[in-house]
Amino acid sequence: MKTLSLVSDRIRWDEKALIRAASSIGVDLKLVDPKSMFLKISVKPEDLSEVFGEVIINRCISYFRGLHIAALLEKAGLKVINSFKVMLVCGNKVFTDLALINANIPVPKTLLAFTKEGALKALDEIGFPAVIKPVIGSWGRLIALVKDKDSAQAIIESREQIRNALLQIYYIQEYVKRPPRDIRVLVIGDDVVAASYRYSPKNDWRTNVARGGVSKPCPITEELREIALQAAEAVGGGVLAIDCMESPNGLLVHEVNSTVEFRGLCSATGIDIPKKIIEYAIEVMKQ
């Protein structure tokens, strides 16, 4: 009999919902908080399965903590949702773009530079307004809409002062002319489970729910279904949130999220997403 665990370093609404969902369908979900433990680097399942079980829903709020835990558990032969490779690809915007482009999925025009000089040249090439993002980042942090060269220069110089090697990689993207919203599609395994529009809050152009973005139901069209399934497959599959923009030339995928925050999507659609995630984990346990 396999054991399912939930690895979480912070119990938020989403994690409580997963715990409730497991309980409601009679699944014994083992809770593991990795913060006060150490792990053995090993390739033997028995070294880690006693604590983690055999199938793990990895819900660490800290990306790097979750990534390293996934690496260890997977190397020891345990099944992690989502896999280490999926987390690695989705955690980095460049790696995600490369996976998407490789699968012929349309993405916004993006340039990469490694110094202030290169970044300013890239901005000249892409034109203003443009968007500068960190390659690894979350909740919309440090994502800047730059409208002219002066503000671009100020942002680049600020990033230089932060002395963080990752911030010296400049991910520069066209500003897509879209409605004041994007579309989030949740894919679980081979199913498109739910979709929502995420509207920017007042006084912000970003749509992240963590920044005050508001979720509303979105119809799942054939085009949306197809692009979401393709994007999920391109990064390796699992439980994934595909974020799309409605450009004048059709849908563009601008992000794939591997540790999905689904509270907004649940409230917008009324769909029992936590139950579907638990059911997916049960299917994985049977494999």
Partner 1 sequence: MGVITFKLTCLECGGEIEIPEDVISGEIVSCPDCGMDYEVEIAENGEVKLKPAEIEGEDWGE
- Between helix 63-75 and helix 45-52 the angle, nearest 10°, is 130
| Segment interacting with partner 1, rule: CB under 8 A, options 29-37, 121-129, 193-201, 221-229 | 29-37
35 binds partner 1 (CB under 8 A): yes
281 binds partner 1 (CB under 8 A): no
Interacting residues of 72 by C-beta distance below 8 A, sequence separation 6+ = 39, 41, 42, 48
- Per DSSP, what are the bridge partners of residue 113? 170
Question: Alpha-carbon torsion 56, 57, 63, 65, what sign?
Answer: negative
95 binds partner 1 (CB under 8 A): no
- Measured CA to CA, the distance from residue 271 to residue 86 in angstroms comes to 25
Bridge-based pairing of strands 239-247 and 250-257 is antiparallel
In the complex with partner 1, the residue whose CB is nearer, 103 or 166, is 166
When binding is defined by CB under 8 A, the residue of 23, 24, 28, 31 that contacts partner 1 is: 31
24 binds partner 1 (CB under 8 A): no
When binding is defined by CB under 8 A, the residue of 48, 257, 265, 269 that contacts partner 1 is: 257
Count Cβ atoms below 10 Å from residue 241 Cβ, excluding itself: 23
158 binds partner 1 (CB under 8 A): no
215 binds partner 1 (CB under 8 A): no
Residues 114-143 that bind partner 1 (CB under 8 A): 136, 138-139, 141
Residues 175-214 that bind partner 1 (CB under 8 A): 210
Cβ pair 257, 205 in contact under 8 A: no
Question: Rounded to the nearest whole angstrom, what is the least distance from the CB of residue 61 to partner 1 in the complex?
Answer: 5
Phi/psi at 56 (nearest 5 deg)? -125, 125
Chain contacts with partner 1 (rule: CB under 8 A): 8-12, 15-16, 19, 31, 33, 35, 61-65, 136, 138-139, 141, 210, 241, 257-261
